Amino acid sequence: MCGILGYYNKNGIGVNEVLQCVHAVDKVRHRGPNSGGIALINTQTGDSRIFDEREPGRYISEGESVEIVAEQNKFDLFLGHRRLSIIDLSAEGAQPMRNVDGSVLIFNGEIYNHEEVKAHWLFGYKPSINSSSDTATILEGLAVHGEQVISAFNGMWSLVFWDNKTKSLIISRDRFGVKPLYCQQLSDSEWVISSELKQMTCFNAFEFNIDQRALSAFSENGLLNFDNRTLLSGVTSFPMSSLVKLRSEFGILKPDEQAVKYYNPAIEKRNINAAEAVDQFRELLTDAVRLRLISDVPWAIAISGGVDSSAIAFTVQQILGDSAFSGVSASFPGMVGDETEFIKIACDALNVQSHRTGNDLFNRQSLIEHLDHQDMPVTTTSFYAQWSVAKLAKENDITVILNGQGADEVFGGYHHHFYRFLSSLIRHGRIKQYLSEINAYAEMKRLPVNRLHQIIVGDLKLRMMLRAGLRKFGNPIIEKWYSASSLTESLQVDFEHACLPYYLRVDDTNMMAHSIESRHPFMDYRLVEFGRSLNDDLKIRDGWQKWLIREAIHEMPNALRWRKDKKGFTTPQDQIEALVRQDIIDSQAYLDALGVKRSGSLKDLSLAHWIMQFK
If you average pLDDT over every residue of the chain, what do you get? Answer: 93
Find the mean pLDDT for residues 108-127.
93
Q: For position 328, which CATH number holds?
A: 3.40.50.620
Last residue in a domain, options 261, 293, 310: 261
**Is 559 in contact with 342 (CB distance < 8 Å)?**
yes
End-to-end CA distance of the chain: 29
In a domain, 567, yes or no: yes
Cα 382 from Cα 570, distance rounded (Å): 5
With a pLDDT cut of 70, the percent of the chain lying above it is 99
Neighbours of 446 (CB within 10 A): 7
Same-domain check for residues 39 and 113: yes
Residue 588 has pLDDT above 90, yes or no: no
DSSP state of 33: B
Mean pLDDT of the region 557-573: 81
pLDDT in tens, 125-183: 887 788 999 999 999 999 999 999 999 999 999 999 999 999 999 999 999 999 999 99
When mean pLDDT is compared over 54-63, 217-226, 307-316, 557-566, the highest value belongs to 307-316
Residues 107 and 199 in one domain: yes
Residue 200 lies inside a defined structural domain of this protein: yes
User: Would you say 198 and 375 are in contact if contact means Cβ atoms under 8 Å apart?
Assistant: yes
Please indicate, yes or no, if residue 598 is contained in any of the structural domains. Answer: yes
Residue at 128 is within a domain: yes
Are residues 93 and 127 located together in one domain of the fold? yes
Reported as a single tens digit per residue, the pLDDT across 199-237 is: 999 999 999 999 999 999 998 888 999 999 999 999 999
Q: Judge if 299 and 207 occupy the same domain.
A: no
Q: In terms of domains, do 76 and 34 share one?
A: yes
Apex CA 330: angle with CA 288 and CA 409, to 5°? 40
Count of beta carbons in the 10 Å neighbourhood of residue 439: 14
Mean pLDDT of 340-350: 94
Say which residues have a Cβ less than 8 Å from residue 363's Cβ, sequence separation at least 6: 579
Q: Residue 232's closest CA among 23, 387, 377, 22? A: 377
Among residues 301, 313, 347, 196, the alpha carbon closest in space to that of 519 is found at 301
Please give the C-alpha separations between residue 548 and each of 358, 557, 562, in angstroms, as whole numbers: 34, 16, 12
SS3 state of residue 128:
coil
Strands 35-41 and 77-83: antiparallel
CA angle 594, 597, 600 (to 5 degrees): 110
- Examine the domain organization and report whether 504 and 379 are in the same domain: yes
Last residue of some domain: 488, 517, 549?
A: 488
Exposed, middle or buried by CB within 10 Å (0-12, 13-18, 19+), for 587?
A: buried
Are residues 54 and 78 located together in one domain of the fold?
yes
Into how many domains does the chain fold?
Answer: 4
pLDDT band, residue 567 (cuts 50/70/90): low
Q: How far apart are CA 529 and CA 525, in angstroms?
A: 6
Q: Identify the burial level of 88 via C-beta atoms within 10 angstroms of its C-beta, where 0-12 means exposed, 13-18 middle and 19 or more buried.
A: middle
Q: How many CB atoms lie within 10 A of CB 614?
A: 19
pLDDT for 209 equals: 95
- Averaged pLDDT for residues 453-478: 85
Q: What is the predicted pLDDT for the residue at 267?
A: 86
In terms of domains, do 25 and 104 share one?
yes
Q: What angle do CA 300, 305, 307 make, to 5 degrees?
A: 100
| In-domain check, residue 494 | no
Range of the domain at 602: 580-615
How many other β-carbons are positioned within 10 Å of the β-carbon of residue 266?
4
Please indicate, yes or no, if residue 57 is contained in any of the structural domains: yes
pLDDT at 568 over 70: no
Highest mean pLDDT among 356-365, 552-561, 587-596: 552-561
Chain Cα centroid distance, residue 80: 21
Q: Are residues 474 and 340 in the same domain?
A: no
Note the maximum CA span of the chain: 78
Q: Which of 453, 488, 523 is the last residue of a domain?
A: 488
Judge if 512 and 478 occupy the same domain: no
Q: Which of 227, 249, 321 is nearest to 43 (CA)?
A: 249
- What pLDDT is stored for residue 253 in this prediction? 97
Q: Is 171 among the domain residues?
A: yes
Question: H/E element holding 451?
Answer: helix 449-467
For residue 36, give the 3-state DSSP assignment. Answer: strand
Q: Give yes or no for a contact between 546 and 407, defined as CB atoms under 8 angstroms apart.
A: yes
251-287 tens-digit pLDDT: 999 999 999 999 998 888 999 999 999 999 999 999 9
pLDDT-derived band at 570 (thresholds 50, 70, 90) equals low
CA-CA distance, 108 to 143, in Å (whole number)? 18
Report yes or no on 269 lying in a domain. no
Say if residue 471 is in the same domain as residue 594.
no
Burial of 269 (0-12, 13-18, 19+ CB in 10 A): exposed
**How many Cβ atoms from other residues are within 10 Å of residue 483's Cβ?**
19
Query: Which of 465, 533, 512, 520 minimizes the C-alpha distance to 309?
Result: 520
Whether residue 96 has a cis bond before it, omega within 30° of 0:
yes
Same structural domain, 462 and 508: no
